[in-house]
Structure 1
Amino acid sequence: MAMFWYAAATTAALFCIIHFFRRRLCCRYPLFTDYPFLGMLPQVLCNLWRIHDFSVEVLKSHGGTGEFTGPWFTNMNYLVTSDPLNVHHVLSKNFNNYVKGPEFREIFQAFGDGIFTSDAEAWKYNRDIFHSLFKHRSFEVFLETTIRKKLQNSLLPMLDYLHQQGNVVDLQDVFNRFTFDNICSIVLGYDPNCLSVDFPEVEIEKAFNQAEESIIYRHTMPKRLWKLQKWLQIGHEKKMTESCKTFDQFIHALIASRSEALRKYNNNETGEACADLLTTLMREGKEQHDARFLRDAVFNLFVAGRDTITSALTWFFWLVATNPLVEAKILEEINEIFGSNEKTPDDLSVEELKKLVYLHGAICETLRLFPPIPFERKQAVEADMLPSGHGVNPRAMLIFSLYAMGRFEEIWGEDCMEFKPERWISKKGGNVYVPSYKFIAFNAGPRTCLGKDLSFIQMKIVATAILRNFHIQVVEGCVAWPSLSIVLLMKDGLKVKITKRET
């Protein structure tokens, strides 16, 4: 018996040694120390609280690209890069070889089969539908009208109230509520009125936030572990299940209500000049779009049109508030555009907003330093070779750190850590074009964000109205730290005091 156990132990040890050296041979460009059994996961877990800045440090020390291997037998292996040539190759030049893949859809389960998680024909179908909706002039007018109405009736009055009270407020929470009300109105035709002076807790908003937070943990845990937690309904997986249930009940109730209304009015007699996106999808899709398709479309639109705008506005106002010279230049430009015009900032037309070149540069600079979606994930279909010289095996996982790309001297120069809107302005006074594979806040290639132009319109409308009317001062001790989420929000919010700007 002793000989049996000795032989078994020897065989196991030999197997581990062989597996260890096999991993070393396969992983030619390791980002960290590859520990036996645990792989490189310990370094990630130790730095999880600062994972975005940690990724910058690690990628810089490895020339922009390297390999991460997880615990043994978990298949938790990634090629991580921030090289713009690699990004251009994967997202544009060899687009068909890189997909989201089934594992991505498992991790992003809450997104269903929407545009962010689908591939091939399903993705093309989703994209064609949304492209048709977003490019329609009537929708652009509807979106602008909705935002301006919420701005005039809720956001500006609330900021004025907060100024009068002299209270410290979390501006990120304000923007969260503002964008949540907007996206509900735009997508669902329903305003939950989250943005009010009593700051009500809205269950659906809380559920939506929790689902997103849980997704990031699936990226840092071995698949078998988070699936076990899902089966046992413990930890973040329990929260994920509960939040998705809450969101789904909310959406399906609205779908049923809208379906009944459309039947009542025979699909075409609602009398509305322009309907919300859900109504439009139900009208045009008819029998093609079942409840599941509509639910997935709504969830994906929520992520695209709510959290990303919240993130961009929060970081923009933090950067502007902490860079008074930039704030002064933006205000000077706004006043120049107005001149003797009696219009208020929230009445500016789209054409007038396009004249705000410096403001556009400040927004781009914000998105460069703090991209709302800090990383992108792809899976290779067939073997490939990246421009950096790194080989890609079939089914290999790639992760792009968009956050790191905005902080590389090789891409943006030695002043890359500075908030410098001037880098986006040409000598002739126009905005500088930067290829999407370098400035990747809106993705690149065929999957470039359809709502890019609409996003700039929204941010400019809000920025001009707030900056012309109010001065935002960050309170002492407020630390702007990226949260651990799939969307780059501030971990503890943006605490500010608001004062009325003298006219």
Structure 2
Amino acid sequence: MLNIEISSWLLFCLLPLFLLFLISFIFTFRSSKESSSEQLPRSYPVIGSYLSVLANKDRLIQWTSDIVRSSPNLTFTLRRPLGYCQVYTANPATVQHILKSHFSVYEKGDIFRATLSDFLGDGIFNADGDKWKFQRQMSSHEFNTKSLRKYVETVVDTELSQRLIPILAAAAADKTVLDFQDILQRFAFDNICKIAFGYDPQYLLPSLPVAEFAVAFENATRISSDRFSSPFPLIWKIKRALNIGAEKKLSSAVRHVREFAQEIVKEKKQELKENSELESGDLLSRFLSSGHSDETFVTDIVISFILAGRDTTSAALTWFFWLVYSHPEVEKGILREIREKSESPLYDEVKDMTYTHASLCETMRLYPPVPSDTKEAAKDDVLPDGTVVRKGTRVTYHPYAMGRVEAEWGSDWGSFRPERWLERDAQSPGKWKFVAKDSYHYPVFQAGPRICLGKEFAFLQMQRVVAGVLRQFRVVPATQEGGAEPVFISYLTTKMKGGFPVRILERVIN
């Protein structure tokens, strides 16, 4: 009886909104369908441009990219329901404005934190102010040159040689199909847990154990991300309060994720209690030894680092292997470089792989692991192009769109061409020299004070995987022999819809 009363009350509250949507839909369906994806979306009273958002809900990144690239100054304002606005930009000057020169004005903000708080809590990706500064300062010690060398020569290479390569060899011998996206996520997850927490989850074992945590993490990421698409935040908040629909699934997924993270924290606390020498051994030990023993806060930190270490590098590598297969001339260049470095020490081998590095940068230009990122204005401001931003307005910079701006990348921006990152080294004829892009033109790793601390480690890890895998194997897409382009989707990070099924073939050395 109580459930019936609640449902009736909810229907009564939302009925006016549903009627408004229905009337608007009847009168605007035809025009919204006929309008070009490159035109500014139509806006209506109360609901703003929600009909256009709804029509493009499965390709929001591509849709907003088309609009922002065709807009004056590479910036446009999307009208949200109830009068809220969201500014999208692919303008490097504006990106520098919000990420550096006016950094104090543009925070994660209340909307972002509230939307992701159940999942990420006060972790570094969801924090502002002193909580962010503390986590940033503590994390910075983990990514010095000495640590990077240790990670590559121990953790990454051990995971590569003892787990990833044997699994690929077995798949090649048995002619089985692997979901390479899943394999790379398992690889990255084991790595980040070992490096940051001193814990080995053993997800990349030959048996490929059912990863219940990984499923829960994926669901938590997807549903939390879907909250941003809700026309009215009140809708998902009511569902959360009533524990129904997607919010019920999110609650279950988050509970599973937090229990996993809490167990890691408890085990580390016990280790520190029994052995004080572990205090500087890994990132989690450093946080716990700093005096922050609040288990909830430290759990938030663990979850954020899993998100950073598991999803971003695996996403970049997934798209990389597909692009390399589709461009045999690039694969030949990478193989040539791998064979030239084969006698070098492992750390130096990957550190100096210029062409491979360029290929990874080119991959992330086309398929950035985080295709858009949003800040919230803490006070009124004016962007460099004159766009007025009111306090509380969300401003989104768009790496996916920025990698497709013709004025920046040329008329061949749609081509996968690592050479655009290279020039011939005048001091070493025949050698390539890497030419980096300004981080405000290429904000794949963010920029300014919040620039990714793990950027160098991410490249070293990815280059080591590329060298280890391509030296021995060919990675061949199993669907239509790679002829069909995978479907790009994005939650908090980029994914291939349905995974990346591949066949592994032993490489024949000519």
Q: Give the drift of 1:139.
A: 6.0
1:436 counterpart (424, 436, 439): 439
Q: Give the drift of 1:381.
A: 1.8
2:476 counterpart (473, 477, 492): 473
| Helix, strand or coil at the partner of 1:52 | helix
Aligned-partner Cα distance in 1 for 2:101–2:434: 26
The answer to whether 1:482 aligns with 2:488 is yes
- Contact 1:79/1:397 (CA < 8 Å) preserved in 2? yes
The answer to whether 1:149 aligns with 2:146 is no
The answer to whether 1:233 aligns with 2:243 is yes
Name the stretch that deviates more: 89-98 or 154-163: 89-98
How many residue pairs align between the two structures? Answer: 461
Q: Which residue of 1 aligns with 2:319?
A: 315
Aligned-partner Cα distance in 2 for 1:185–1:276: 9
**Percent pairwise identity:** 35
| Helix, strand or coil at the partner of 2:319 | helix
Q: Give the drift of 1:172.
A: 0.5
Q: Which residue of 2 aligns with 1:36?
A: 45
Aligned CA distance change for structure 1 residues 168 and 76 (closer, same or farther; 3 Å): farther
Q: Which residue of 2 aligns with 1:388?
A: 385
Q: Which residue of 2 aligns with 1:123?
A: 132
Q: Give the drift of 1:322.
A: 0.7
- Contact 2:152/2:460 (CA < 8 Å) preserved in 1? no
Aligned-partner Cα distance in 1 for 2:129–2:104: 9
Q: Which residue of 1 aligns with 2:304?
A: 300
| Helix, strand or coil at the partner of 2:331 | helix
The answer to whether 1:461 aligns with 2:464 is yes
Q: Which residue of 2 aligns with 1:17?
A: none
| Helix, strand or coil at the partner of 2:126 | coil
- Contact 1:180/1:205 (CA < 8 Å) preserved in 2? no
The answer to whether 1:101 aligns with 2:109 is yes
Q: Which residue of 2 aligns with 1:280?
A: 286
Alignment gaps of 5+ in structure 2: 1-19, 21-38, 426-431
Q: Which amino acid aligns with 1:383?
A: D
Q: Give the drift of 1:291.
A: 0.8
Q: Given the two structures, how large is their TM-score scaled by the length of structure 1? A: 0.87
| Helix, strand or coil at the partner of 1:201 | coil
The answer to whether 1:260 aligns with 2:270 is yes
Q: Which residue of 1 aligns with 2:194?
A: 185
- Contact 1:180/1:306 (CA < 8 Å) preserved in 2? yes
Aligned-partner Cα distance in 1 for 2:152–2:263: 23
Q: Give the drift of 1:241.
A: 1.1
| Helix, strand or coil at the partner of 1:116 | helix
Q: Which amino acid aligns with 1:215?
A: S
| Helix, strand or coil at the partner of 1:169 | strand
Q: Give the drift of 1:395.
A: 2.0
| Helix, strand or coil at the partner of 2:491 | coil
Q: Deviations over 1:9-67 (max 9, x none)?
A: xxxx9xxxxxxxxxxxxxxxx93101333221111121111222112212123232111
Q: Which residue of 2 aligns with 1:27?
A: none
Q: Which residue of 2 aligns with 1:23?
A: none
Q: Give the drift of 1:350.
A: 2.4
Q: Give the drift of 1:236.
A: 2.3
Name the stretch that deviates more: 177-186 or 194-203: 194-203
Aligned CA distance change for structure 1 residues 476 and 208 (closer, same or farther; 3 Å): closer
| Helix, strand or coil at the partner of 1:126 | helix
Q: Deviations over 1:298-339 (max 9, x none)?
A: 11111111100110110110110111110011111222233x
2:364 counterpart (361, 367, 377): 367
| Helix, strand or coil at the partner of 2:503 | strand
- Contact 2:153/2:347 (CA < 8 Å) preserved in 1? no
Aligned-partner Cα distance in 2 for 1:264–1:336: 47
| Helix, strand or coil at the partner of 1:379 | strand
Q: Give the drift of 1:198.
A: 3.2
Q: Give the drift of 1:143.
A: 5.3
Aligned-partner Cα distance in 2 for 1:88–1:176: 32
The answer to whether 1:425 aligns with 2:422 is yes
| Helix, strand or coil at the partner of 1:426 | strand
Q: Which amino acid aligns with 1:263?
A: K
Q: Which residue of 2 aligns with 1:223?
A: 233
Q: Which amino acid aligns with 1:98?
A: Y
The answer to whether 1:135 aligns with 2:139 is no
Q: Give the drift of 1:117.
A: 1.6
2:450 counterpart (428, 442, 447): 447
Aligned-partner Cα distance in 2 for 1:215–1:76: 20
Q: Give the drift of 1:386.
A: 1.2
1:201 counterpart (200, 206, 210): 210
Name the stretch that deviates more: 94-103 or 447-456: 94-103
- Contact 2:142/2:282 (CA < 8 Å) preserved in 1? no
- Contact 1:322/1:474 (CA < 8 Å) preserved in 2? no
Aligned-partner Cα distance in 2 for 1:421–1:471: 19
- Contact 1:384/1:391 (CA < 8 Å) preserved in 2? yes
Aligned-partner Cα distance in 2 for 1:314–1:249: 29
| Helix, strand or coil at the partner of 2:352 | coil
Aligned CA distance change for structure 1 residues 116 and 52 (closer, same or farther; 3 Å): same
Q: Which amino acid aligns with 1:226?
A: W
Q: Which amino acid aligns with 1:242?
A: S
Q: Which residue of 1 aligns with 2:120?
A: 111
| Helix, strand or coil at the partner of 1:368 | helix
Aligned-partner Cα distance in 2 for 1:225–1:59: 28
Aligned-partner Cα distance in 2 for 1:124–1:277: 15
Aligned-partner Cα distance in 2 for 1:256–1:476: 44
| Helix, strand or coil at the partner of 1:96 | coil
Q: Deviations over 1:100-131 (max 9, x none)?
A: 11211111211111211211222211111111
Structure 1 residue runs of 4 or more that deviate by more than 3 Å after TM superposition: 476-479
1:411 counterpart (392, 402, 408): 408
The answer to whether 1:49 aligns with 2:58 is yes
2:177 counterpart (163, 168, 185): 168
Aligned-partner Cα distance in 2 for 1:376–1:191: 31
Q: Which amino acid aligns with 2:252?
A: E
Aligned CA distance change for structure 1 residues 228 and 76 (closer, same or farther; 3 Å): farther
Q: Which amino acid aligns with 1:145?
A: T
Q: Which residue of 1 aligns with 2:12?
A: none
- Contact 1:181/1:191 (CA < 8 Å) preserved in 2? yes
Aligned CA distance change for structure 1 residues 142 and 386 (closer, same or farther; 3 Å): same
- Contact 2:371/2:490 (CA < 8 Å) preserved in 1? no
Aligned CA distance change for structure 1 residues 355 and 138 (closer, same or farther; 3 Å): closer
Q: Give the drift of 1:190.
A: 2.4
- Contact 1:134/1:140 (CA < 8 Å) preserved in 2? no
